[in-house]
Structure 1
Amino acid sequence: MKLIVTNDDGIEAEGLETLVGLASRWGEVVVVAPAQQQSGVGHRLTTDRPIRVDRMTQSRYRIWGSPADCTRLALSRLAPDGDWLLSGINNGSNLGVDVYDSGTVAAAREAAILGCRAIALSHYREKDRTIDWLLAAKRLEPHLDKILSGTLEPGCFLSVNLPHPDHEGIRLETKQAHVDTSPHVAAYARTGDDFQFTGVYQERPRQPGSDVDVCFNGRISISKIRV
């Protein structure tokens, strides 16, 4: 099995390296990731200029473009025989309407559009706490194993969000969850001509049984999203 790994936090991100190490347990890994931080760029694609590609090793490419650019280049030129594309692990969750502005999710969505099975993986981060990436890998492994050995219908991809519980237990319950469509609270503080967003992510609205609700209650949410 050949697995393409990308992200939106950039090619040097800890979450990417965690996913590379994890993915190598199931087959050959090819990294095609952005040269720079690309969080929040959504499904931006570069069509008006050349995209520079640096081949760092035999199976590692640094892309001077967006996460969706990485997917397009991977599946068209750099690793067209990829069986799965894995995007992440994002340093921060991509829950609910976050899926529309997330570069992590866009990379997986672009893969699904191009006919490749894909998973976006993100890790919710409690305020003022750091993520234990080794523990994250251990928590993800059994669930990824099940997903990668199964099937995924064409035109769909998965969005997986890990919670950030206080305990250090490895096994976490998973739950299939729909994507919460509740909008973020549009709260801004004004100083002169400047407006600063003041919404609190942890206080966002949540629909019962949605990905936001599941993840905020300490379970791994798995959402199937159609392109």
Structure 2
Amino acid sequence: MTIILTNDDGIEAPGIQALVKAVNGKSAIIAAPRDHQSGCGHQVTTTRPISLQRRSETEYAIAGTPADCIRIAISQISKDIKYVISGINAGGNLGVDAYISGTVAAVREAAMHGIPGIAISHYRKAKQNFNWDLAAELTSEVLADLLERTLEPGSFWNVNLPHLQPGEPHPEMVFCQPCTRPLPINYRIDGDNFYYVGEYGKRDRTSGSDVDVCFSGNIAVTQLKV
């Protein structure tokens, strides 16, 4: 089974290296953005060339968005892709984030072509450092479960890892519904310039939703559809 690994933080990001570790030897090809593409949503490139750098037999840096990476991967790199895994994103992609996230867009693009996928993100508390080794360990546990499950056509998984503090209990996987509350919106104004300063951790959290599950220290798993 050939798996495509991608992300929206760029091919050099530590999150995708943690994802490679979590995949643990499965037949995987990295087809990821050459540059940082966080927050690009499902944008695709149609008005300029998209350069591709083949770094090895299994690694491609693509000068496009995550959705571009999947389009190129399934049409030009391999004809035998059975799964797409995107991440591990440095920051949560909970609830309505799915409309903004390039991480999620990659697996949505795959689902459009009948290929199942998993988007994996890591919620971050107050700009604290990530423990990527722990993230790889948790992701490995998630993949062991989700890769064995059957997805309906046009569906995909959106997974959010919690930001655990030392001594906190091992998280559980919780299947839940995405929160539909909006993200916090606030701006710092400097002349004619507006700087976004919404605080992610202060967003509304519907009880039992993915936001609530993840903020409570567990792994939130939602099934989304195209």
TM-score by length of 1: 0.95
Deviations 1:166-195 (A, max 9, x none): 135683111111111111232223232122
What is the 5 A alignment of 1:181-200? 181-200=180-199
State percent identity of aligned pairs.
Answer: 46
SS at match of 1:199: coil
Displacement of 1:35: 0.3
CA RMSD of aligned residues (A): 1.4
Partner of 1:118: 117
Alignment of 1:151 onto 2:129? no
Match in the other structure for 1:2: 2
Q: Distance in 2 between matches of 1:22 and 1:161?
A: 15
Runs of 4+ aligned residues of structure 1 deviating over 6 Å after TM superposition are none
Unpaired runs of 5+ residues, structure 1, are: none
Cα deviation for residue 150 of structure 1 reads 2.2
Query: Which structure 2 segments of 5+ residues have no match?
Result: none
- Output the amino acid matched with 2:23: A
2:54 is aligned with 1:55 = yes
2:31 matched residue in structure 1: 32
Output the amino acid matched with 1:54: Q
Equivalence for 2:134: 135
Matched, 1:107 2:109: no
- SS for the counterpart of 1:121 is strand
- Normalised by the size of structure 2, how large is the TM-score? 0.96
Residue 22 (str. 1) matches residue 22 (str. 2) = yes
Q: CA deviation at 1:8?
A: 0.4
Alignment partners' CA distance in 2, 1:138 and 1:24: 10
Equivalent residue for 1:214? 213
Distance 1:142 1:171 in 2: 11
Q: 2:90 maps to what in 1? A: 91
Match of 1:83, SS state, is strand
C-alpha contact 1:33 1:61 (8 A) present in aligned 2: yes
1:3/1:23 contact within 8 Å kept: no
Q: 1:83 to 1:91 in 2, by over 3 A?
A: same
- The amino acid across from 1:151 in the alignment is T
Instruction: Tell me what 2:78 maps to.
Output: 79
Q: Report how many residues are paired.
A: 226
Measured after TM superposition, the shift of residue 135 of structure 1 is 0.9
Are the equivalent residues in 2 in contact too, given 1:139–1:171 (CA < 8 A)? no
Task: Quote the Cα distance in structure 2 between the aligned partners of 1:157 and 1:5.
Answer: 15
1:166 match: 165
Structure 1 letter corresponding to 2:20 = V
Whether the 8 Å CA contact 1:11–1:34 is kept in 2: the answer is yes
CA distance in 2 between partners of 1:189 and 1:50 (Å):
36
Return the alpha-carbon distance in structure 1 between the equivalents of residues 216 and 168 of structure 2. Answer: 15
Q: Distance in 2 between matches of 1:197 and 1:100?
A: 18
* 1:11 partnered with 2:11: yes
141-150 or 101-110, larger mean C-alpha shift: 141-150
Q: Partners in 1 of 2:84 and 2:169 — Cα distance?
A: 25
- Maintained 8 Å contact 2:187/2:198: yes
